[in-house]
Every structure is written in C-alpha cells, then in structure tokens.
Structure 1
Amino acid sequence: MKGAARQFFILAIAYAVVGMALGIYMAASHNHAQMPTHAHIMVAGWLMSSVFAFFYHLFPEIGARPMARAHFWIQAVSGVVLVSSLFVLLNGTEAIEPLTALASFGFLAGMLVFIWNALPVLRTA
C-alpha cells in the first residue's frame, strides 16, 4: 500500500485499537454511557477509513493525487476531533458541543472530497 491508501489503513488500525479498548473498558466497568462514541470510532473511524484505504489501493492513480491527500487530512483531523469531543460531551461537558458539530461538518466535507475523488471511477463503471 502506498500514499493515501497506506495513510488511511494506518488510521483505520489506530481507530480499531482505540474502539476495542473503549469497548473493553465499558464492559469491565459496566458503564456503557460511551456507546455512541464507541460506535462512531468503529464505524466512522475503523470501517470508513478501511473502505477509503482499499479504494485508494484499488485505484492507486487516484490515491496518488493531491486531492486524495487532502481527503486524508480532512477526514483524519475532523474524525479525531469528532470522536474526542463526543467522548468529552458524553461525559457531561456540554460546552464542547459546538466543536463536535463543527467536526461533524468537517467529516462530511471529507466524505464529499472522497465522492469527488471517486467520480472518475464511478463514471467509467
């Protein structure tokens, strides 16, 4: 794996480890208040990053473009801020909610960049 594919897969692995650790913590403590955070880490983090990694691996010419690097950084930064701020929000710090909302829109922006990157493949399918 090279370029954006490699970056996204490394990010996916990091999300998987963090999500599993949070899941084990919730099970051991019998406190499942962070279930939404766990779900976001596993789906928005692990699953989506893996899908992006394999897309860019299957289409390396797209994964080597500057827009693929932009996609990675938008998705990575907004995703980490999203799940981190969601964790803090669900622990009772409501003042962080605007940051969570902003990160959510950043995550959506990353998805829109991915769609833009994937359009050439979709047009030829």
Structure 2
Amino acid sequence: MTGAARLFFGLAIIYAICGMALGIHMAASHDHIEMPAHAHIMVAGWVMSAIFAFFYHLFPTINASRMAMVHFWVQAVSGIVLVVSLYILLQGNDGVEPVTALASIGFLVGMLIFAWNALPVLRSKV
C-alpha cells in the first residue's frame, strides 16, 4: 500500500483505536453522553477512511494523483477537527459549535473530492 491509500489506512487504524477506547470509557463510566462522538469516530473515521484506503489501493493510477493526496489532507484535517470539537461540544462547551460546523463542511468537501476522484472509475469500461 502506498500514497493516499497507505495514509488513509493508517488514519483508519488510529480512528478505530480512539473510537474503541472512547467506547470502553463510556461503558466503564456508565456515561454515554459522548455516543455521537463515538459513532462519528467509528463510522466517519474508521470505516470511511478504510474504504478510501482500499479504493485508492485498488486504483493505483488515481492513488498516485495529486487529487488523492488533496482528498487525504482535507478529509484527515476536517475529520479530526470534527470529532474533537464534537467531543468538546457534547461536554457542554457550546462555543465550539462554529468549529464543529466548519469541520463538518470540510468533511463534506472531502467527500466531494472523493466523488471527483472515484466517479470516473464508475464510468470507465476498465
């Protein structure tokens, strides 16, 4: 695995460890206020990053493109800011809500970049 595929899979592993640790913490403390943050870490972080990694691994030409790396950095930065700010927001710190909103928009932009990268594959006959 190389390029964006490798970076996305490494990121996926980090998300999985963080999400599982948060889940164990919630279970041990019997405080599930962070369930939305946990769900975002596991689905938007672990699952989506792993899917992106395997897509780029399966299509090495796209993986080698500049846009694959742009996708990684937009998705990684906005995703990390999203889950951290969501965690803080759910703790009752409403002042971080604009950061969470901007990170959510950034995460959507990352998905749009992925669509830009991936849709030509669906249209091709290869």
TM-score with structure 2 setting the length = 0.98
Q: Which residue of 2 aligns with 1:45?
A: 45
Tell me if 1:94 matches 2:105: no
List 4+ stretches of structure 1 deviating above 6 A: none
CA distance in 2, matches of 1:48, 1:24: 21
Q: Which residue of 2 aligns with 1:75?
A: 75
Which residues in structure 2 correspond to 1:104-123 (within 5 Å)?
Answer: 104-123=104-123
DSSP 3-state at the match of 2:23: helix
CA distance in 1, matches of 2:121, 2:98: 36
Q: Which residue of 1 aligns with 2:64?
A: 64
- The number of residues matched between the two structures is 125
DSSP 3-state at the match of 1:119: helix
Q: Deviations over 1:29-57 (max 9, x none)?
A: 00000000000000000000000000000
CA distance in 1, matches of 2:44, 2:114: 14
CA distance in 1, matches of 2:114, 2:32: 32
Cα deviation, residue 72, structure 1: 0.1
CA distance in 2, matches of 1:5, 1:96: 31
Q: Which residue of 1 aligns with 2:23?
A: 23
CA distance in 1, matches of 2:102, 2:122: 29
DSSP 3-state at the match of 2:104: helix
The Cα RMSD (Å) is 0.6
Residue ranges of structure 1 left out of the alignment (5+ in a row): none
Residue ranges of structure 2 left out of the alignment (5+ in a row): none
CA distance in 1, matches of 2:28, 2:42: 18
